[in-house]
Each structure stands twice: as structure tokens, then as C-alpha cells.
């Protein structure tokens, strides 16, 4: 992938800025990544980082409630935000005439968000509806991103439910909000990204004009969330009220994605070799040859995308299977296939396929301005290297059969978590 044109700067208040001009289409993407995610929320306040993300849309000093949405949309734009283990992002994509307006909107809420009791209570209700929609009222809701870390990890930051417990969400108060904002939403704890159709010099001026006077605040050093990996196989079971078929999820610890990126990518390739496409190992074996699962998937990262978090990060295997298949049989086949890969590694053809598919999917992602903007921002935030977007295909292509074999070999039963999901059995 050709290296995109990238400009980086840091304002006096510590805000890091990535400018990625690309005049192909007359649209721009603007995003702000704050270096705080649900791993940083306080005990007793599960779900708070995500709730706070909602509150950041509820108005700021220059913008009444609803004004943020209206200004973006009446400029022809779309917006959203999302909360991850280690960061929270906010973004707009608009026709390029809206660039200054988008910068203004982001700067205004970085400077002075308007957090009121009324908006807090309203958004607690909205977030509870979101959780009902995505977790409580559907089969396999939150499986495994909420439920597996609780088995694999022992410490609160890594193990707790990032969507939050209803009781704790209801207890959130303005004091929590103010403390969270002052602690984590400082300019020096954020990355601003502008991608798409703009002149670099003009964008620099606009960024300085709107963000330059956001007051600097001290940022506390980020704590490590590291904890020892399990030394035995950890098992747990849960009953799903809505699921029609049993399922299982397996979690393994990954190398540090930031300090040990090359090693981490071995697992990214391993995941593709296992489950990416009909020719992948577990697809062939579990779905087609033995026919023991309906679907199987693997991936790096609890939310389904690699390089989306710092250490500790999780390699996940999920499978949905019929009642007549025991979970241990699926695990047995998984271990056999890992052993086989550990012994012989993938062949050259398998590696070539993974590289080509990876390169293609990076190009496709990069073609959507929203994905491109967010990728530059999150890579700058966590890796200090937005250009990693363009370097990944070559790094993936450099992964050898021996690397993948070693990764497979490391995935031993005595270092993993196994979560078994059982349907409640009530026929609906």
C-alpha cells in the first residue's frame, strides 16, 4: 500500500494532530480519540466510559442540547462515537465545506461540555435501551465480548462488563462526570485527525484557531493494566435465555500489541489461517469435514478487530454447535488443529492467501473515509504511528510459517479461558 501523505503536529496544550490530505473525493473526516476507555472506569461505575461518551453529544458551551447533531447533519454530514477498552472516539464525515464547522464542534466539547442532571438521566435511559437491544433481549447478546474477559482476567479493569450494570449506571452522578472529564478529557490526552479533501496549510490554521485555546491540563501517567496470564485452564458456564443452540468461547492472551507488534501479527495471521474463508483450517475441519459446528470464528481483540487495544489483549475463538456435540469435542478438535499447525506450520500457499486477503481488506477499509480517519487516529493514539496503516500489509507478508507455528504452539489449554454457553431450553 502506498504511504499516505501524513502530517503530524502537537499544539502547545498537548493535543496531537494528524492531517491526512487526499483530494480524491470532496469529503472530509474529522475524529477525536481520547485516551480513555472502559478499562479506566472506576469500580462501582461499570459502563461509565460509554455513558460519558453519550453525554459528550449532549451540548457544550456554545451548543444547546441537540445542536451538535443538527449542525453536523445540516452540513450534509454524519457522526458517531464509540467506546473501546482503551480509547473513546468521536467523529464526523462531511462534504469538505463543513471542515471548519466540524473542528469547531469537536473543540467546543473538548473545551466546555455542558453536562446536566437532566441530560445525564435521559442518557442513562438511552444507554439502558442500547443494552437491552444489544445484550439483554437477544440471543448471544454480549457473547463473548462481555462475558469472556470475566473468565480470562482477574482484575477489575480487564474483567468487568464495559457496557455496565444497570444499578451502577443509575448511580452515576454529575460529580463522577466532572471528575472523569477533568481526569481524562484533557487535550494532551487526545488525538485529533483530519482526513480527506483539504489544504494542509489551511487545516493547520483552522486547527490552531479552534483548538489552540483549549486550556492545557495535566495528564496523569497511564496505568498498566497488565496482569499475569492464567496458569491453568479457567472454565465457566452461562445460561442464555434466548439462545437456541449452545456455544463456546475460548480466550488466550496475546503478545503486547504495542511493544511486541511483530509477534502480535503472527497471531493475526494464525487467525486467518484458522478461519478466514472456506479454505481455512477450522472451517474445513469443524464445519465441513467433521460437521460439528454451525459456525466458527477466531480473531484478535475482544471487539473483533486486531490492534484495537493495548496490552493485555485477547485472542478469541467462538463456535456455535448443536446439542448433540459436546463442548469438549469442539475443544479437542481445536487443540488437534493447533497442534498440527504447531508441528508443520501453514504452507506457502496458505500464507499467500492470508497476505492477499489482508491487503485487500485494508484497501477496502481505507476506501471508506470514516474507517480511514479512525484508523489514523487510533494508531497515532496507541502506537504513535499512523503510517502503520500502510505498513501492515508488508508486515503481514513477512510473517513466516515458523512464526505461525510458534504462535499455534503457544496456545495451550493451561493458559486459556473457556466459556460455555447453554441455552435456557425454554422453547420460544
Partner 1 sequence: MTTTSDTGQHRTAEQIGHTEQGPRPVPGLGTQRVAVQPDTLDTVLDNGLRLMVVRQPSVPMVEVRLRVPFGSDDPARPATAELMAETLFTGTATRSRVQVDTDLALVGGELGAGVDPERLSIVGSALASGLDRLLEVLADVLTAAAYTDEEIGRERDRLVERITMAEAQPGVIARKALQRRRYGDHPFAHEMPESADVAQVTATQVRELHRDAVVPRGAVLVLVGDIDPAGVARLVGSALEHWRSDRTATGMTALPEVTGNDLLLVHRPGAVQSQLRLSARAVPRTDPRYPALQLANLAYGGYFSSRLVENIREDKGYTYHARSGIEFTSTGASLLVDADTASDVTAAALWETRYELGRFGLVPPKESEVESVRQYAIGSLLTAMSSQSGLASQLAGLAGVGLDAEWLRAHPARLAAVTMEQIAEVALEFFAPTAFTGVVVGNREVLAAQLAAIGGVELS
What dihedral angle (degrees, nearest 10) is formed by the CA atoms of 164, 165, 168, 170? 90
| Under 8 Å between Cβ of 254 and 85 | no
Contact flag: residue 125 with partner 1 (CB under 8 A): yes
Tell me which residues in 58-87 interact with partner 1 (CB under 8 A).
Answer: 60-63, 65-66, 69-71, 73-79
DSSP-derived secondary structure for 64-95? -TTHHHHHHHTTT-EEEEEE-SS-EEEEEEEE
Tell me which residues in 224-253 interact with partner 1 (CB under 8 A).
Answer: 241-245
Q: Partners of 82 in the beta sheet?
A: 89
How many Å apart are CA 238 and CA 406, to the nearest integer? 32
Minimum gap (Å) between residue 423 Cβ and partner 1: 9
CB-wise, 29 or 230, nearer to partner 1? 29
Q: Which of 25, 154, 155, 344 binds partner 1 (CB under 8 A)?
A: 25
Residue matched to cell numbers 494528524: 18
CB-wise, 9 or 174, nearer to partner 1? 174
Contact flag: residue 192 with partner 1 (CB under 8 A): no
Identify the burial level of 346 via C-beta atoms within 10 angstroms of its C-beta, where 0-12 means exposed, 13-18 middle and 19 or more buried: buried
How many Å apart are CA 417 and CA 227, to the nearest integer? 15
Minimum gap (Å) between residue 14 Cβ and partner 1: 13
CB-wise, 209 or 412, nearer to partner 1? 209
Contact flag: residue 364 with partner 1 (CB under 8 A): yes
Q: Which of 222, 260, 277, 336 binds partner 1 (CB under 8 A)?
A: 277
Tell me which residues in 325-354 interact with partner 1 (CB under 8 A).
Answer: 349, 352-354
Tell me which residues in 170-189 interact with partner 1 (CB under 8 A).
Answer: 174-175, 177-179, 181-183, 186
3-state secondary structure 249-279: EEEEECCCCCCCHHHHHHHHHHHHHHHCCCC
Residue matched to cell numbers 479437542: 332
Contact flag: residue 400 with partner 1 (CB under 8 A): no
CB-wise, 21 or 229, nearer to partner 1? 21
Q: Which of 360, 394, 398, 402 binds partner 1 (CB under 8 A)?
A: 360
Amino acid at each position: 500500500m502506498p504511504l499516505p501523505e501524513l502530517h503530524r503536529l502537537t499544539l502547545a496544550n498537548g493535543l496531537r494532530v494528524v492531517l491526512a490530505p487526499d483530494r480524491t473525493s470532496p469529503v472530509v473526516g474529522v475524529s477525536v480519540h481520547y485516551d480513555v476507555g472502559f478499562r479506566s472506569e472506576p469500580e462501582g461505575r461499570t459502563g461509565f466510559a460509554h455513558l460519558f461518551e453519550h453525554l459528550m453529544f449532549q451540548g457544550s458551551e456554545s451548543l444547546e442540547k441537540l445542536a451538535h447533531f443538527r449542525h453536523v447533519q445540516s452540513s450534509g454530514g454524519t457522526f458517531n462515537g464509540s467506546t473501546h477498552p482503551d480509547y473513546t472516539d468521536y467523529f464526523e464525515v462531511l462534504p469538505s465545506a463543513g471542515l471548519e464547522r466540524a473542528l469547531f464542534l469537536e473543540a467546543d466539547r473538548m473545551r466546555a461540555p455542558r453536562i446536566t442532571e437532566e441530560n445525564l438521566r435521559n442518557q442513562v435511559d438511552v444507554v439502558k435501551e442500547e443494552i437491552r437491544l444489544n445484550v439483554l433481549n437477544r440471543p448471544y447478546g454480549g457473547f463473548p465480548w462481555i462475558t469472556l474477559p470475566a473468565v480470562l482476567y482477574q482484575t477489575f479493569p480487564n474483567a468487568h462488563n464495559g457496557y455496565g450494570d444497570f444499578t451502577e449506571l443509575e448511580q452515576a452522578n454529575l460529580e463522577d462526570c466532572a471528575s472523569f472529564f477533568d481526569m481524562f478529557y484533557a487535550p494532551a490526552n487526545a488525538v485529533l485527525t483530519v482526513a480527506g479533501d483539504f489544504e494542509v496549510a489551511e487545516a493547520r490554521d483552522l486547527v490552531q484557531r479552534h483548538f489552540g485555546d483549549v486550556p492545557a491540563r495535566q495528564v496523569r501517567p497511564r496505568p498498566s493494566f497488565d496482569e499475569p496470564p492464567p496458569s491453568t485452564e479457567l472454565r465457566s458456564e452461562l445460561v442464555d435465555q434466548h439462545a437456541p443452540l449452545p456455544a463456546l468461547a475460548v480466550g488466550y492472551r496475546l503478545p503486547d500489541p504495542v511493544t511486541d507488534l511483530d509477534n502480535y501479527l503472527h497471531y493475526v495471521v494464525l487467525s486467518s489461517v484458522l478461519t478466514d474463508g472456506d479454505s481455512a483450517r477450522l472451517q474445513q475441519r469443524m464445519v465441513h469435514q467433521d460437521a460439528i459446528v454451525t459456525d466458527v470464528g477466531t480473531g484478535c481483540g475482544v471487539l473483533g478487530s486486531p490492534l484495537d487495544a493495548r496490552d493485555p489483549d485477547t485472542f478469541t475463538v467462538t463456535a456455535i454447535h448443536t446439542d448433540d456435540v459436546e463442548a469438549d469435542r469442539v475443544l479437542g478438535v481445536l487443540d488437534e488443529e493447533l497442534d498440527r499447525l504447531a508441528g508443520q506450520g501453514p504452507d506457502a500457499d496458505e500464507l499467500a492467501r492470508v497476505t492477499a486477503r489482508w491487503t485487500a481488506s485494508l484497501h477496502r477499509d481505507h476506501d471508506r473515509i470514516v474507517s480511514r480517519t479512525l484508523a489514523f487516529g487510533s494508531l497515532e493514539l496507541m502506537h504513535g504511528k499512523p503510517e502503520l496503516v500502510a505498513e501492515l500489509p508488508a508486515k503481514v507478508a513477512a510473517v513466516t510459517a515458523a512464526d505461525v507455528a510458534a504462535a499455534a504452539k503457544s496456545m495451550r489449554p493451561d493458559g486459556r479461558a473457556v466459556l460455555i454457553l447453554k441455552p435456557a431450553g425454554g422453547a420460544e
